[in-house]
């Protein structure tokens, strides 16, 4: 996903990048907290080594920092998502 964002961002506007950064941050945070996204007959959760979780949270923090620097370009829904993700990040540390 990171390679795709890097390629896309070369010619993209900030407004078109914000939803992508929000989606990536959400994905990273959920995965770092053990949510596998599997929705079968059982709920599958995993635990990670502290070093891996810390590295993933740092990536999500960088994405949220990018968004925070461009809050004026966010819609109300995006601001709501951003605040939710900031809360998840704080609770994950």
Query: What digits encode the pLDDT tens for the residues 33-91?
Result: 887 666 677 766 677 788 888 999 999 999 999 999 999 999 999 999 999 999 999 99
Locate the domains of the chain by residue range.
2-92
- Name the pLDDT band for 24 (thresholds 50, 70, 90): very high
Q: What would the DSSP string read from start to end of 13-74?
A: -HHHHHHHHHHHHHHHHHHHTTEEEEESSSEEE----HHHHHHHHHHHHHHHHHHHTTGGG-
- For residue 19, pLDDT over 80 is answered with yes
Closest among 89, 69, 75, 90 to 27, alpha carbons compared: 89
What pLDDT score was predicted for residue 55? 93
């Amino acid at each position: 996903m990171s390679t795709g964002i890097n390629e896309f961002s070369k010619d993209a506007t900030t407004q078109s990048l914000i939803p992508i950064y929000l989606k990536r941050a959400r994905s990273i945070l959920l995965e770092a907290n053990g949510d596998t996204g599997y929705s079968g007959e059982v709920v599958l959760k995993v635990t990670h080594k502290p070093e891996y979780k810390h590295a993933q949270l740092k990536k999500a923090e960088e994405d949220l920092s990018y968004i925070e620097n461009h809050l004026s370009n966010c819609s109300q829904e995006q601001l709501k998502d951003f605040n939710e993700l900031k809360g998840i990040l704080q609770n994950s540390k």
